[in-house]
Amino acid sequence: MKKFVVHQLLHHAIITHPEQVIVSDGKVFTYKQFYTRVLKLANSLSKQGVKKGTVIGVLDVNSHRFLEMHYACSMLGAVLHTINFRLAPEQMVYSMVHAGDEWVFVSDVFAPAVKPLFSKFPHWVFMSDNRNQKLPEEAQKAFFYEDLLEQGEEKEVDETEKIEENDVFSIFYTTGTTGKPKGIQYKHHTILHGSIQLFHHLALHEYGARVSSRDVYMPLIPFFHIHAWGMAFFPIYVGAKLVLPGAADPAGQLRLIQKEKISWMNMVPTQLQMLLDQKGFGNIKVLTGGSPFASGIAKKAHQAGVAFSLIYGGSDQLGTAISIVPEDVDPDTEEALEWRRVGMRPLPLVEVSVKDKEGHEVPHDGETLGSVWVRSPWLPDGYYKEPEITKEHFIDGWFRTGDLGFFHKNHLLYVADREGDAIKSGGEWIPTGMLEALISEHPAVAQVAVIPKKDEHWGQRPLAVVKTSGKVDEKAISDFLLSKVREGKLAKFWIPDAFIFVDDIPLTSAGKLNKKVLRDRYSETV
């Protein structure tokens, strides 16, 4: 009997769409050719002693080899550690040791940077087309990826039939902005149910980043972040063309979009902003999220013909909610554009509760903020080897997200801020995400982060760190926000007491505004 495990998607795909293609690094593979490579890789690794439970770290951009590792590990029952290459070096090494990596697969992009680690892990595989180079002597046991693949036979290993839905498929580590990175294990059924339900939700609603089997997909979200938000699985699940961008910069991404006729992408708002700066980008569907989506970027995207949807979720809860246009709103209006930015419907089978400090559900009135709690059939079990932190966040089948949000009167969810980022001024919350979205509507504001600064009278007051795209000063932005007060879009006390203008705003490994760095740098200086 077939089981709901990752490699089963590929088995099905070669029956239904054997000639469909995966494009990567200038190469084109049919699904059938891809499957052959996966079989040979799994067979070869099995001969080298890789078995159920072996932890394999992969340090690579989105490439066909990284995708092959997903399915080969599934066939072996090995645990795929998708290494977050945007972590600080010491945090990345911590995650590799904590996960128990026995094998490390590394691409040419990252091999020079991890040279000091060659003696620390027992097996290395270099994911390179250049097999004429000498393998490093520092590595205890090293292979070239293509050599290893060629040594394998084109047949399934005995382990494949023994893999169960509740076996661990992969492990991923959080960004570590509030401490050491935390590991989350995904079982086969967890990651598949969560990923596929996300795309089912997108297929149910007509507007925004709607999906179909006829789309051509290219993920800009890295595989290290929830398997590119499930994109390692969904295109193969529906038999669609998949394009992997590798290390392409925005200009290179645009060339791929045009050459391969990409119609659907996922990315964080900062990546979308960079693509919008490329002449000729537009007329495409985009799923974005991971940080507040500023209305200024939303309007620019809409003008470029980008049909977007906003997703809310995270590595410790998977996909939770995606923005929709309410049924009673004309989809061609400014109101519909705003709803796609601020109103999200939980995925089918996902429950979201917004609670006050006493644990009571807050009213769905469009203004009462509370703590966001989530539960679903695919919620992970907790943090790997972190029982105390798990007890703080995974409670009675629910996950306490650490986010602040509210429900609109039509029961669509808005996530306003992280609890740790929101500003408590005179006993009242100022959600920085909402304030950032309003500031970003000023035409001369390219990017903005709002952080708290200490205040003797109010406790905390907002400080705005602004990256500009034109000439602007503090008074101009304050006057602009006063106009928003008159429109009823914000309370007057939300207006920041001070503004700092910078050339760049630091980002986290997930592409979010790095407010920890900004707080350390600026909260005591004004």
Say what the pLDDT of residue 177 is: 57
122-139: average pLDDT: 88
pLDDT band at 369 (very low <50, low <70, confident <90, very high): confident
171 occurs within a structural domain: yes
Q: How far apart are CA 60 and CA 110, in angstroms?
A: 7
268: β partners: none
Tell me if 42 is assigned to some domain. Answer: yes
Between β-strands 264-267 and 428-430, what pairing exists: parallel, antiparallel or unpaired? unpaired
Domain end point (choices 128, 155, 184) = 184
Which CATH number does the domain housing residue 445 bear?
3.30.300.30
Residue 445 makes CB contacts below 8 A (sequence gap 6+) with 296, 439, 466, 467, 468, 469, 472, 477
Indicate whether 55 pLDDT > 80. yes
Tokens representing 362 are 């807050």
207 exposed, middle or buried (CB, 10 Å; 0-12, 13-18, 19+)? middle
State mean pLDDT over 394-415. 93
Count of CB atoms situated within 10 Å of the CB of 440: 23
Q: Kindly state whether residue 381 falls inside one of the protein's structural domains.
A: no
pLDDT attached to residue 332: 87
Instruction: Tell me the pLDDT band of 526, cut-offs 50, 70 and 90.
Output: low
Cut 0.75: pTM above it = yes
pLDDT at 367: 82
Among residues 128, 162, 184, which one ends one of the domains? 184
Cα 226 from Cα 222, distance rounded (Å): 8
Over residues 152-174, mean pLDDT = 94
**Tens digits of residue pLDDT in 207-252:** 899 999 999 999 999 999 999 999 999 999 999 999 999 999 999 9
Residue 300 belongs to a domain? no
Which range has the worst mean pLDDT, 26-30, 210-214, 473-477? 473-477
Is 389 a residue whose pLDDT tops 90?
Answer: yes
- Evaluate if residue 58 carries a pLDDT over 90: yes
- Closest listed residue to residue 160, CA positions, set 45, 238, 63: 45
Percent of the chain's residues with pLDDT above 70: 98
Q: What percent of the chain has pLDDT over 90?
A: 69
Q: Could you list the residue range(s) of the whole structural domain that residue 500 is in? A: 423-522
Q: Average pLDDT in the 60-86 region?
A: 97
**Average pLDDT rounded to a whole number, residues 5-10:** 96
Tens digit of each residue's pLDDT (9 = 90 or more) over 506-524: 877 666 778 888 888 886 6
Q: Report the pLDDT averaged over residues 354-378.
A: 92
User: Of 184, 219, 248, which residue is a domain's last?
Assistant: 184
Asked if residues 105 and 146 have their Cβ atoms less than 8 Å apart, the reply is no
Instruction: Answer whether residue 112 is part of any domain.
Output: yes
Query: What is the structure's pLDDT at 176?
Result: 63
Residue 429 covered by a domain: yes
Distance CA 483, CA 103 (A): 58
Is residue 42 scored above 90 in pLDDT?
yes
Residue 150 maps to a domain: yes
CA 229 to each of CA 250, 315, 442, 496: distance values in angstroms, whole numbers, following the listed order: 20, 9, 31, 35
pLDDT digits (tens, 9 = 90+) for 81-127: 999 998 888 999 999 999 999 999 999 999 988 999 998 999 999 99
Task: Please report the pLDDT score of residue 190 as a whole number.
Answer: 95
pLDDT digits over 239-290, tens only?
999 999 999 999 999 999 999 999 999 999 889 989 999 999 999 999 999 8
**Looking at the 3D structure of the chain, how many domains does it have?**
2
Please indicate, yes or no, if residue 288 is contained in any of the structural domains: no
Phi, psi at 319, each rounded to 5°: -65, 135
Query: Measuring CA to CA, which residue among 439, 444, 427, 442 is closest to residue 498?
Result: 439
Q: In terms of C-beta distances under 8 Å and separation of at least 24 residues, what long-range contacts does 474-480 make, across chains too?
A: 474/498, 474/499, 476/442, 476/444, 477/439, 477/442, 477/445, 480/439, 480/441, 480/442
CA atoms of 338 and 343, how far apart (whole Å): 8
H and E: helices and strands count for the chain: 16, 26
Span 284-333, pLDDT tens digits = 999 999 876 877 788 899 999 999 999 999 999 999 999 999 989 998 89
C-alpha–C-alpha distance, residues 485 and 487, integer Å: 5
Radius of gyration of the chain (CA): 23
CA 90 from centre of chain: 22
**Would you state the pLDDT for residue 72?**
98
- CATH number of the domain within which 152 lies: 3.40.50.12780
Going across the sheet that includes 498-502, the strands are: 445-455, 459-468, 498-502
Q: Residue 36 above 60 pLDDT?
A: yes
Q: How confident is the model at residue 525 (pLDDT cuts 50, 70, 90)?
A: low
Mean per-residue pLDDT, 29-49: 98
The yes-or-no verdict on residue 66 having pLDDT over 80 is yes
Question: 164 is written with which tokens?
Answer: 């169960």
What is the rounded average pLDDT for all residues in the chain? Answer: 91
